[in-house]
Amino acid sequence: MTFNVKDLGRSPGSMRTIEEHVPAPKDFGVALIGVQEGSGMELDLRFEAVHEGILVSGSADVEITGECGRCLDPIKYGSSVDVQELFYYGDSQWAAEVEEEQQHRVENDVVNLEPVLRDAVVTSLPFQPVCREDCQGLCAECGARLEDDPGHHHEVLDPRWAALSGLAGTAGSSDPAKSTESVEREES
């Protein structure tokens, strides 16, 4: 996703706008959600020459796809992200003042927008994507959809009481005549 900016020269104030449809590169997202590789991205950008370099600003319209973090249902929606980045000229005195990993450069009269667009899109994605705010998700025990069965629950036994649950089962299965006899003895 490189764009030639030679026509802007180094004269501050010169400007050019582009509206372009480009395919999305890979890795434009995170594990659960992102822009699918090859899907269309609508770019509406302005390239403007300034003293330090080329200022790129505008927006990118993308289609976000993924899975709900609670129920794993598919998610699909459009998003518009704002883009604004300064690409420094290689010999610019201002480039020395900015940390190396925080700056982008104009190289051979070309700017590479892929890392800038990736940063803008990925940071706009939800941390925990959900299909709906009130999505109940899946049961942690068996994976059943809680939306389909709202009263779904599991009997949880504390392992420390497991031995006693066996005793409760044998007490109920004993001979009723013997139980009555032992109760009568205790009363006397």
Taking residues 167-177, what's their average pLDDT? 55
pLDDT of residue 149: 82
- 74 versus 183: which is more confidently predicted? 74
DSSP state of 174: S
Instruction: Quote the CA–CA distance of 59 and 61 in Å, as a whole number.
Output: 7
46, pLDDT greater than 70:
yes
Taking residues 179-188, what's their average pLDDT? 50
pLDDT of residue 182: 47
33, pLDDT greater than 90:
yes
CA 34, 38, 44, 46 dihedral sign is: positive
Taking residues 148-167, what's their average pLDDT? 78
Regarding pTM above 0.95, the answer is no
pLDDT digits (tens, 9 = 90+) for 64-108: 999 999 888 999 999 999 999 998 887 655 545 555 556 788 888
> Do residues 105 and 88 lie in contact, with contact meaning Cβ atoms separated by under 8 Å?
yes
| Average per-residue pLDDT for the chain | 81
Taking residues 26-47, what's their average pLDDT? 90
> pLDDT confidence of 186, banded at 50, 70, 90?
low
Which DSSP string do the residues of 10-65 spell out, in sequence order? T-TT-EEEEEEEEE--S-EE-SSEEEPTT-EEEEEEEEEE-SSEEEEEEEEEEEEE
> Do residues 52 and 94 lie in contact, with contact meaning Cβ atoms separated by under 8 Å?
yes
Tell me what percent of the residues of the chain surpass a pLDDT of 70. Answer: 81
Taking residues 158-172, what's their average pLDDT? 69
174, pLDDT greater than 70:
no
pLDDT of residue 80: 94
- 158 versus 127: which is more confidently predicted? 127
- 4 versus 43: which is more confidently predicted? 43
